[in-house]
């Protein structure tokens, strides 16, 4: 026997899909001002809209809700998004909660189209927020991105001045094979 699955919300007969009209926006705004958000499933019928509850919720939260900020992100917002992403990863709703007036979807889209590129141009991996390692074009060696000049006299002369070879980062005694086991019993 299969699991019970809820049918998609907008496949019901007489449910409008696509772009919202001004009249629909006014009906939704007027209803929410008078009655509050309440239950999104029953709201469309009560407001006189031929839309599904999900469509009403998304329209309200992403476009009509008072206090929404639209338009270009400031440098301060970009830096806050970078800082929060380094701590929270792709938890866009948690990040949006700390940027008043911005929606989670808007922040996610801004991250994917602008902020990721900004980090990459700085030599930072957008996923880990660590310095990138790139391949040197003429030798094929892996090198840290924009490292400081080496001051140690023990560095090999084959390295270009100002860059380190990836071998400088290796720890041969470090075992990264991880496994789960019960703690060892010591007598």
* 30-74 residue pLDDT tens: 999 999 988 999 999 999 999 999 999 999 998 999 999 989 999
pLDDT tens readout for residues 98-122: 999 999 999 999 999 999 999 998 8
Give percent above pLDDT 70 in the chain. 67
Handedness of CA 24, 29, 30, 31 (dihedral sign): positive
Question: 56 near 44, Cβ under 8 Å?
Answer: yes
Q: Inform me whether the pLDDT recorded for 155 exceeds 70.
A: no
CA distance 123 to 120: 5
Question: Does domain 75-121 bear CATH number 1.10.260.40?
Answer: no
Q: Inform me whether the pLDDT recorded for 158 exceeds 50.
A: no
pLDDT at residue 101 in the model: 93
User: Which residue ranges make up each domain of the chain?
Assistant: 14-64, 75-121, 132-171
pLDDT at residue 74 in the model: 94
The pair phi, psi for residue 165, each rounded to 5°, is -80, 145
Structure tokens at 62: 């992403």
Residue 164 confidence class, pLDDT cut points 50, 70, 90: very low
Q: Which of 99, 100, 128, 133 lies closest to 116 in space, CA to CA?
A: 128
pLDDT at residue 160 in the model: 44
Residues 6+ apart with CB under 8 A from 57: 40
Check if 14-64 and 75-121 are the same fold.
yes
SS (H, E, C) 24-68: HHHHHHHHHHHHCCCCCCCHHHHHCCCCCHHHHHHHHHHHHCCCC
Structure tokens at 107: 């922040």
Q: In this structure, which CATH number among 1.10.340.70, 3.40.50.880, 3.30.470.20, 1.10.10.60 belongs to the domain 14-64?
A: 1.10.10.60
Q: Mean of the per-residue pLDDT values for the chain?
A: 79
pLDDT at residue 137 in the model: 59
Q: Which of 60, 20, 19 lies closest to 37 in space, CA to CA?
A: 60
Inter-CA distances, 45 with 29, 36, 49, 168, 170, Å: 14, 15, 6, 67, 64
pLDDT at residue 94 in the model: 95
pLDDT at residue 77 in the model: 96
Beta strand segments in the chain, E: 133-135, 142-144
Question: 53 near 43, Cβ under 8 Å?
Answer: yes
């Amino acid at each position: 026997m299969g699991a019970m699955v809820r049918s998609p919300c907008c496949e019901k007969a007489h449910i409008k899909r696509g772009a919202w009209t001004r009249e629909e926006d006014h009906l939704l705004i007027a209803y929410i001002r008078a009655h509050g958000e309440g239950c999104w499933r029953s709201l469309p019928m009560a407001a006189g809209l031929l839309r599904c509850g999900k469509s009403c919720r998304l329209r309200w939260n992403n476009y009509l809700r008072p206090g929404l900020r639209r338009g270009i992100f400031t440098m301060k917002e970009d830096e806050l998004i970078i800082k929060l992403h380094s701590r929270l990863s792709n938890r866009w709703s948690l990040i949006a909660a700390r940027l008043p007036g911005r929606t989670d979807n808007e922040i996610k889209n801004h991250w994917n189209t602008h902020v990721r590129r900004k980090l990459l141009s700085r030599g930072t991996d957008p996923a880990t927020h660590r310095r990138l390692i790139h391949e040197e074009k003429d030798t094929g060696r892996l090198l840290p991105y924009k490292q400081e000049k080496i001051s140690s006299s023990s560095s090999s002369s084959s390295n270009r001045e100002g860059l380190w070879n990836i071998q400088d980062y290796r720890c041969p005694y470090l075992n990264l094979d991880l496994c789960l086991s019960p703690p060892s019993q010591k007598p």
